[in-house]
Amino acid sequence: MRILALALAVCVVAQGASAKQPRGQKAQPDNERALSGPVGDPNGRWNIEATTTVGECRSLIPPSFDIVGNKIAAAPGPAASFWGYVDEEGTIVARFTGDGERVVRFHGTLRGGRGSGPWSSSTDLCGGTWRASRSAAAAQ
C-alpha cells in the first residue's frame, strides 16, 4: 500500500499538480509562473539544481547540461545516457538513464536565462522539482 501511495505521489508531481482550469486556460505551476517574457536562445550551458520532494532516491539529473541546436548535447554526471530537446516555446523535455535501467523524466520551461519544472522517476518511485540558470559563460 505504501508503494502504491508513493507511486501516486510521483505521478502527481510529474503532472504539475495543478487545479482544474476553465476550458481554454492552461494551468501553470507556481514554479513556472515567474518564467515569462521572451523565450530567447536556449543554446548554451545550463546549471541545474534538483530537489527531491517525493520518495528517497539518488537523482540522475546532472548538475549541468549543454544545449546545442535545441538538443541536449552534453550532460556530465551520474546518468549513463541522456536525451532531450527544447521547442520554440521554451518547453524542455528530457530523459536521463542510469545503470540498472533507472530512468528520470524531466520537463518544464527555459525562458530568459532561467528555467524550472518537475521531474519524476517511476523506476525509483520518487520525484521533485528542478531550477535552472544559464551559465555566465553562455551569456556572453
On whether residue 22 sits in a domain, the answer given is no
Average pLDDT over residues 45-69: 94
Q: How far, in Å, CA of 136 to CA of 133, rounded?
A: 9
Average pLDDT over residues 23-48: 67
Query: Residue 83: which of 99, 65, 101 has the closest Cα?
Result: 65
**Taking the mean position of all CA atoms in its chain, how far away is CA 86?**
11
- The pTM of the full predicted model, rounded to 2 decimals, is 0.72
SS3 32: helix
On whether residue 129 sits in a domain, the answer given is yes
Average pLDDT over residues 32-40: 62
On whether residue 112 sits in a domain, the answer given is yes
Q: Do residues 102 and 123 touch, judged by C-beta distance below 8 A?
A: yes
pLDDT band at 39 (very low <50, low <70, confident <90, very high): confident
On whether residue 72 sits in a domain, the answer given is yes
The parent domain of residue 53 ranges over 44-133
pLDDT band at 42 (very low <50, low <70, confident <90, very high): very high
Would the pLDDT of 20 be above 90?
Answer: no
On whether residue 84 sits in a domain, the answer given is yes
Would the pLDDT of 86 be above 80?
Answer: yes
On whether residue 83 sits in a domain, the answer given is yes
pLDDT in the model for residue 36: 62
On whether residue 36 sits in a domain, the answer given is no
Average pLDDT over residues 105-111: 96
pLDDT band at 83 (very low <50, low <70, confident <90, very high): very high
On whether residue 64 sits in a domain, the answer given is yes
Contacts of 50 (CB under 8 A, 6+ apart): 59, 61, 119, 128, 129, 130
Amino acid, res. 102? R
Where do the H-state alpha helices sit in the chain? 2-14, 30-33, 136-139
Total domains in the fold of the chain: 1
User: Domain of 106: which CATH number?
Assistant: 2.40.128.120
